[in-house]
Amino acid sequence: MPYVLDPRNKSGKRTSFYLLLKPLEAILRDITLLKARGNRPLQMEFEDQLKALIYFHLEEHTSGRHLLQVLEEDYFARETVAPKAGIKKSSFFEAVNSRGLEQIREVFQTLQARATTILPQEFGNFGDLVAIDGSLIDAVLSMYWADYRKGSKKAKAHVGFDINRGIPKKIYFTDGKGDERQFVSRIISPGQTSVLDRYYQCHQNFDRWQREGKHFVCRIKENTIISVISANAIKPESIVFYDSMVLLGTKGVNQTEKELRVVGYRVANKEYWVATDRYDLSSEEVALVYKLRWNIETFFGWWKRHLKVYHLIARSEHGLMVQIFAGLITYLLLAIYCHEQHNEKVSIKRVRELRCKIKNEASMFENKPPDRDCYKQTTEGGLYAKV
């Protein structure tokens, strides 16, 4: 088992990096053990792999080689992030590309469930809202499995985003041409409400979701054929100009079997048509719920820009999934950290502040190397070793 540095400075306080990692302490004790495939021992335990990938995203390293250089030459990173014996390039990339996927998926699922109990609900009066969208990931031509079109390779992440808590909820992967609509039923549980763009419009799915008790608020195309069953009252001066119980599509071709509700509203001279089975909401609330779908777009943009999640350091499908899961875990840890330390949502201001704290603490480590007695070999695989 690896040696683990006790994450405390001279005053006895834990370092900021380990305050960030603290929610992983109990999780890592219970996940499936990563075992070597032969007699040769692992050069990198799963805990080391996970810490290195979190550090990669947090510090915005420009490549895998950049990360490895920091793990070797930066005193703080070498002592608190890298394996005790160090890690060579070949061993690191072998680990990322071929090991730890089962474990990192378990960590994400468990951490996401824990974050759900910690973070407050911002729009709880609307129920459990999950925005769903796909995000393309640029790949290199050697990634033959990431089929998209001639001369272009892309993978796609299909993400369910918890709107109330502002965190990713579930994720699935396909090649770039993978259909997104099939993942709605896999992401949404009965009682939850999916919030979807018009690409997800599928009349057969609207019927299916209602049978399964899975709610939806989905924008539809303006040229959709609508058969009105009954009209609901519209408030004067409202942005809503249409609210009716309807059937969608052409009878005998693609018409819905179950009636549903369509709300039409206008914002900045642009019309939106939204189909839903949320009859408990006012028409204005339906419009607001669909507007909240933009939160997943904001998440994708922030995640890519500030955590370098789509700057791939792996070439295999396995390695891509490991890295994306590590990026999601990093975001979940930041969400918990910002809430517990500042009672705020994740922001680049707080992330930059955390990075500065880590750098300041790194200089303290380098000026006065820790006593080697602070190391203790652990058989529990926890993040913290007692002194």
Domain boundaries, the chain: 3-107+313-377, 198-292
- At 201 the pLDDT is 96
pLDDT of residue 356: 92
Determine which helix (DSSP H) or strand (DSSP E) holds 251, and give its type and residue range: none
Res 308: pLDDT: 79
Please give the share of the chain, as a percent, with pLDDT higher than 90. Answer: 63
Give me 362's structure tokens.
């790194």
- Asked whether the predicted pLDDT for residue 296 surpasses 60, the reply is yes
Q: Has residue 229 got a pLDDT over 50?
A: yes
41: pLDDT strictly greater than 50: yes
**Of 21-25, 122-126, 293-297, 316-320, which gets the smallest average pLDDT?**
316-320
How high is the pLDDT of residue 365?
Answer: 63
* Distance separating alpha carbons of residues 42 and 53, to the nearest angstrom: 17
What is the reported pLDDT for 150? 65
Check pLDDT > 50 for residue 5.
Answer: no
**What integer best gives the mean pLDDT of the chain?**
87
The predicted pLDDT at position 268 comes to 92
Give residue for tokens 């350091």.
Answer: 313
Tokens linked to 197: 């763009």
Closest of 112, 107, 111, 50 to residue 81, by C-alpha: 50
**270 band by pLDDT with thresholds 50, 70 and 90:** very high
Reference 262, options 244, 284, 241; nearest CA is: 244
What is the rounded average pLDDT of the residues 134-150?
70
Burial class (CB in 10 A: 0-12, 13-18, 19+), 318: middle
* Alpha-carbon gap, residue 243 to 62, rounded angstroms: 50
Q: Across-strand partners of 240?
A: 265
pLDDT over 80 (residue 1): no
How far CA 185 is from CA of 46, 113, 200, 214, in Å, comes to 32, 19, 12, 8
Per-residue confidence (pLDDT) for residue 381, from 0 to 100: 42
Average pLDDT over residues 34-50: 83
- The residue among 140 and 69 whose pLDDT is bigger is 69
Residues sharing a CB contact under 8 Å with residue 268, sequence separation 6 or more, in sequence order: none
pLDDT at 368: 53
**Between 225 and 145, residue with greater pLDDT:** 225
More confident residue, 385 or 49: 49
Please report which confidence band the pLDDT of residue 2 belongs to, taking 50, 70 and 90 as the band edges: very low
Helix (H) or strand (E) holding 202: none
Query: How much is the pLDDT for 68?
Result: 93
Residue 383, pLDDT score: 44
User: Does pLDDT of 152 surpass 80?
Assistant: no
